[in-house]
Amino acid sequence: MAAKDRFHAVVRTALEKEQWIITDDPLRLDIGSTKFEVDLGAEQLLGAERGTERIAVEIKSFLGESLLTNYHAALGQFLNYRLALEVRDSERTLYLAIPVIAYESFFQ
């Protein structure tokens, strides 16, 4: 099992405050002999007519020395997880949780 990201507890708490139920910590996906672990799986009841929304959240701190290296690692992992979810749990939406400073300085 991989080590939890530095901001794992913060992201989990934020989701729970927004009424998400954490269903998996981590969310494990097995595709053949490859095993993936997305940081969190969660679901939220949207209302009687709309059903339940299910998400997977990968958490990245972007605390390494190179923002570009952090970006490439996060993107590669995100793409692998998205493919694994298409195969194993296509109803789940994948999100990448990153610090605001990384979003504002690199993703915009």
Peptide bond into 99 cis (omega under 30): no
Residue 1 lies in a domain: no
The count of domains in the chain is 1
Indicate the DSSP class of residue 4.
P
Residue 3 lies in a domain: no
Supply the range of the domain harboring residue 86. Answer: 8-107
Closest CA to 36 of 102, 86, 107, 103: 86
pLDDT tens readout for residues 47-65? 666 678 999 999 999 988 8
pLDDT tens readout for residues 58-104? 999 998 888 889 999 999 999 999 999 999 999 999 999 999 988 88
CATH number of the domain residue 95 falls in: 3.40.1350.10
* Angstrom distance (rounded) from CA 28 to CA 40: 9
* Angstrom distance (rounded) from CA 25 to CA 49: 28
State pTM to two decimals. Answer: 0.89
pLDDT tens readout for residues 10-28? 999 999 999 999 999 999 9
